Amino acid sequence: MIKKLLVLVPLVFSLSLAETLTVLTHSSFALSKEVIASFEQQTGIKLRFVEGGDAGATLNKAILSKGAPIADVIYGIDNTFLSRALEAGILERYSTPQIAVVQSRFLLDPTLTALPVDYGYVALNYDKDFFKDKPLPGSWDDLARPEYARLLVVENPATSSPGLAFLLATVASLGEDGYLKFWEALRDGGVKVAPGWSEAYFAHFTRYGGDRPLVVSYTTSPAAEVYFSEGAYREPPTGNLLWPGASFLQVEFVGILKGTRHRAAAEKFIDWLLSGPVQEDIPLNMWVWPVRRDAALPDVFKFAERPLEPAELSPEAIAKNRERWIAEWEAVVVRGQSAQEVISRRK
C-alpha cells in the first residue's frame, strides 16, 4: 500500500507540474491544431492562448497590466506599435538562436527584445470584373480624382490596423502637407469610411454586394480569394494596385512579458514559433509571409504579391506622430475641416 502511494506521489507531482504557458495574442492569430499539439507533446508545456482584441488593444492591455502580467508571452505587436511596446518596458530581452535564419531586414528592434515572426503588406485591392473595360488608377493623383474616390472604401485609421497602415502609406508618399490635401480630395470625391476591415471588405466591396470596387486590404487577399473558393476560381477575381509607395509593410513581433514565472518555457515557445514547421504553417492560417529565410511557401501564394517599393516609415517616426496623424485625418475626413485649416493650426 505504502509502496503504491510512493509510486503515486511523483506521478501526481509531475501532473501538477505540467507547466502552462499563457500567450496573449490579437484576435487574428491562428495556427493549425497539429502544430500546437506537437509543441505540447514535445515539450510537455501546455499552451493557453488569450485574445486581447485588435493589435493596439492587445498591446495596451499588456501595458495596463504591467507588474502583474496577464500572460507570459505576447504575440502580434506590429511595427506601428513597436516603439510604444519598447518604451513601455513590458518586454524581457531574449536572444533566440533562431535569429540567424530570420531575414535581417525585419529585425527592426536592434536590441532583439521584440522578435519578428511574420510580415505582410496593406494595399489597394480592385474588383477585376468591375474594371474589365475601365482604366485602373495608376497613382495617388489618379486616386484623388472624384471618379475614383467615389469607388473607394477605406478603414478608419482610428479603429483599424489596415486603415492606419494605408494612412501611413499616404504620409510616407505625399509628405506632411500633401497627405492631408489628398485626403481632403478623397473626402470631397465621396470616399467611404468603414470601421474595420471586415466591414469594408464584406459590406462595401463590390465582390460581396457593396458598391465599392476599390478596397484597402492586403496583397495576399487575391490569393486567399482563390484558396477559399474551393476550386471556383483558378485566377484571383481581385488584383492589387501597387504603384511605388502604395503599399505598407506590416511586421508582427513576439516578446516575453516582463515578470513571467515561466521564462524557460517562454524561450522554448519563441524558438518553436520561429522553427521551420510553424513558419510554414503561418501563411495559410494568417495570410502573411514567414520571416524565416528557408520557409517554403504554399502553392497559392504565387498569387500573393510582394511589392518592390512599399512605403517606408521608421517605428520611431510612427510612434512620435501617429496620434497627430490620426487626429488630423479625423479633422479633415470625419469633421470636414479643410486641409489648409488643419495645417495652419499645427504651428
Partner 1 sequence: MRPSRLAALLVLAFLALALLWPLGLVIGRGFGYGLSAVLADPYLRGRLGWSLAFGASSSLLVVLFAVPLVYLMRYRFPGRDALVALSMVPFVLPTLVVATGMLAWAGPRGLLGLDLSGTPWILFWGSLLYNLGMTLRLVLGVLGGSGRLVEAARTLGAGSWRSFWRVELPLSAGALAAGAGLTFVYSFSSFGLPLILGGPRYATLEVAVYRALLERLAFGEAAALILVQTAVLVLVSLGYLYAQKRLAVRAGAPAPPPRLGGVRGWAALLLVAGFFALLYAPLGALVLRSFWGPEGFSLAGWAALARPQASYFAPSAGLATYNTLRFSLLALLVTAPLGFAYAYGVWKGVRGLDLLGFLPLLVSPVSLAVGYLLAYPGLRASLLLLATAYALLAYPLFARTVLAAMRRLPANLAEAARTLGAGPWRVLVRVELPLLRPALGAAAALAAAVTIGEFGATLVLARPEWATLTVAIYERLGKPGIVNYQEAMALSVLLGLLAAGVFWGLGRGGEVG
Contacting positions for partner 1 (CB under 8 A): 24, 27-33, 36, 48-53, 56-57, 60-61, 63-65, 68-70, 156, 158-159, 192-195, 197-199, 201-204, 208-211, 217-218, 221, 224-225, 227-230, 232-233, 237, 285, 287, 323, 330, 333-335
With beta carbons less than 8 A apart as the criterion, state whether 221 and 129 touch: no
Residue corresponding to grid cell 470601421: 195
Q: How far apart are CA 67 and CA 59, in angstroms?
A: 14
Q: How far is the CB of 331 from partner 1 (least distance, A)?
A: 8
Question: Within 10 Å of residue 130's Cβ, how many Cβ atoms?
Answer: 16
Question: Within 10 Å of residue 208's Cβ, how many Cβ atoms?
Answer: 11
What 8-state DSSP symbol labels residue 120?
E
* Nearer to partner 1 among residue 267 and residue 330 (C-beta): 330
Contacts of 251 (CB under 8 A, 6+ apart): 78, 79, 106, 108, 116, 118, 119, 291
Q: How far is the CB of 10 from partner 1 (least distance, A)?
A: 29
* Nearer to partner 1 among residue 104 and residue 229 (C-beta): 229
* Nearer to partner 1 among residue 60 and residue 321 (C-beta): 60
> What's the start-to-end Cα distance of the chain, in Å?
84
Cell readout for 173 is 508618399
* Nearer to partner 1 among residue 106 and residue 183 (C-beta): 183
Q: How far apart are CA 235 and CA 227, in angstroms?
A: 10
Q: How far is the CB of 96 from partner 1 (least distance, A)?
A: 23
* Nearer to partner 1 among residue 113 and residue 217 (C-beta): 217
Cell readout for 154 is 477605406
Q: How far is the CB of 107 from partner 1 (least distance, A)?
A: 27
Q: How far is the CB of 272 from partner 1 (least distance, A)?
A: 14
